[in-house]
Amino acid sequence: MINPPLKISVIIPVKNGAVTLDKCLSSIRSQTVPDLEIIILDSMSTDESREIASGYNATIIDIPEGNFNHGLTRNIGVQHSTGDFLFFTVQDAFLSENDLLEKMIKHFIDDNVMGVAGHQAVPHDKNKNPMLWYKPVSAPEMVVREIIDIQQFKQFSKEKQQSLISWDNVVAMYRRKALVQQPFVDTQFAEDWIWSRDALMKGWRLIYDPSLVVYHYHHAGYSYAYKVAYAVNYHFYKFFNYKPAIPDFFKPVMKTVFHLGKNSELKTKEKLFWIFHNFYSKIGTFNSNVNFLLHNYMGGFDSVEKRYKKICKEIPQGRTKEESL
């Protein structure tokens, strides 16, 4: 570990997260790092979230109703924190290992590293989509990301650019000075990707280490899948000029039926449930992408934005399977 040990602040946006928050905070308080504070950015929860957070000696910052913003609200957390390094996650995630933060902070021995991101995965639980269960097939390898030549980066394909700038505030740690010099932007989605792109454009070095796993799951039915896909597409188009392709539909559906059909851990009733769940989720994403492309073709960005404001008046919030039924 870095010597002397440095303080870590964990910053978590919360809204009515009582179902999952206790497990999240327990995994944080179980970490091996000696000096750790928890900052809760609470959007006026009406359940037991605040009481749960208080039980873990967290500092609770009130976010007025309707004022949550994925970028600016996280900046408030930075302003109230006192750590040398800042770790971001979400209320329905939990850390896979008790020494995850200790492993993560070791990457900052390199003074040129400004941020480290890990991998979010779906745990092997029956109340979570079996098609998403975390099953690594090879040893994860750390990747150092930096842009040596900005003009060369601009010549990369959109896919290669996305691979380089992809980032994830479900499991990300930053040097304090990096977030002070470059705060998150005003946005309702993709604040992490935007920050990563801008950091790389500054010549900063970032690290992606997929061995640093945080478990996270949203039960995505038709409506949730549709809204999230549209919101992601809107923000990626707005900030990166990326447009989605029409996704393959029938092949993934057949693959789902095949893999779930031979899953020996599931009963027949469970297999049928997850087959239909994946079917409706994929329809939601498919229809959302097609609708986005049609609006863009017919009316350009103005039409896309008008549709976004209509269907995403509120930021889609993830739910567990039990909350969704």
User: Beta-carbon neighbour count of residue 90 at 10 Å?
Assistant: 20
What is the pLDDT at residue 181? 97
SS3 of residue 266 by DSSP: coil
The strand pairing partners of 11, in sequence order, are 39, 88
Pair of tokens at residue 3: 């010597």
pLDDT for res 161: 92
State mean pLDDT over 45-53: 97
Question: Residues 9, 37: contact at Cβ < 8 Å?
Answer: yes
* Dihedral angle of Cα 88, 71, 233, 306, to the nearest 10 degrees: 150
Task: Indicate whether 4 pLDDT > 60.
Answer: no
H/E element, 60: strand 59-62
Q: With a cut of 70, say whether residue 170 has pLDDT above it.
A: yes
Q: Which amino acid is at 298?
A: M
- Structure confidence at residue 272 (pLDDT): 96
Question: Any idea which residue has 């009733």 for tokens?
Answer: 269
Residues 49-68 as b/e (b if ≥16 CB within 10 A, e otherwise) read: bbebbeeeebbbbebeeeeb
Tokens 């097939």 found at: 137
* Complete DSSP assignment for 63-79: --TT---TTHHHHHHHH
In DSSP notation, 97-164 reads: STTHHHHHHHGGGSTTEEEEEEEEEB-S-TTS-GGGB----S----EEE--S-HHHHHHS-HHHHHHH
Residue 25 sits at the vertex; the CA angle it makes with 274 and 98, to the nearest 5 degrees, is 90
Specify the residue for token string 């964990």: 10
Confidence of residue 2 (pLDDT cuts 50, 70, 90): low
Residue 246 has pLDDT above 90, yes or no: no
CATH 3.90.190.20 matches 8-216: no
pLDDT-based confidence at residue 281 (cuts at 50, 70, 90): very high
Domain ranges of the chain: 8-216, 222-324
What is the rounded distance in angstroms from the CA atom of residue 163 to the CA atom of residue 64? 35
Q: What is the mean pLDDT of residues 28-54?
A: 96
Structure tokens that stand for 97 in this block = 């290992």
pLDDT value of residue 1: 47
**Model confidence band, residue 320 (pLDDT cutoffs 50, 70, 90):** confident
pLDDT in tens, 71-94: 999 999 999 999 999 999 999 999
Comparing CA positions, the residue from 170, 318, 314, 308 lying closest to residue 237 is: 308
HSE (side-chain half, CA atoms, 13 Å) at 314: 9
- The letter for the amino acid at 193 is W
Q: Which of 122, 154, 238 is nearest to 190 (CA)?
A: 238
**Cis amide prior to 4 (ω within 30 degrees):** yes
Confidence (pLDDT) at 3: 58
- What value does the mean pLDDT take over residues 25-47? 96
Q: What length is written for the chain?
A: 325
Give the separation between CA 2 and CA 102, rounded to whole angstroms: 9
Instruction: Report pLDDT digits (tens) over 185-243.
Output: 999 999 999 999 999 999 999 999 999 999 999 998 999 999 999 999 999 999 999 99
Q: How many Å apart are CA 123 and CA 126, to the nearest integer?
A: 9
pTM of the model: 0.94
Give the percent of the chain with pLDDT over 70: 98
Percentage of the residues of the chain whose pLDDT score is greater than 90? 83
pLDDT at 247: 78
Indicate whether 323 pLDDT > 80: no
Rounded Cα distance between 215 and 24, Å, is 10
Model pLDDT, residue 5 = 64
CA–CA separation, 56 and 38 (whole Å): 8
* Average pLDDT value over all residues in the chain: 93
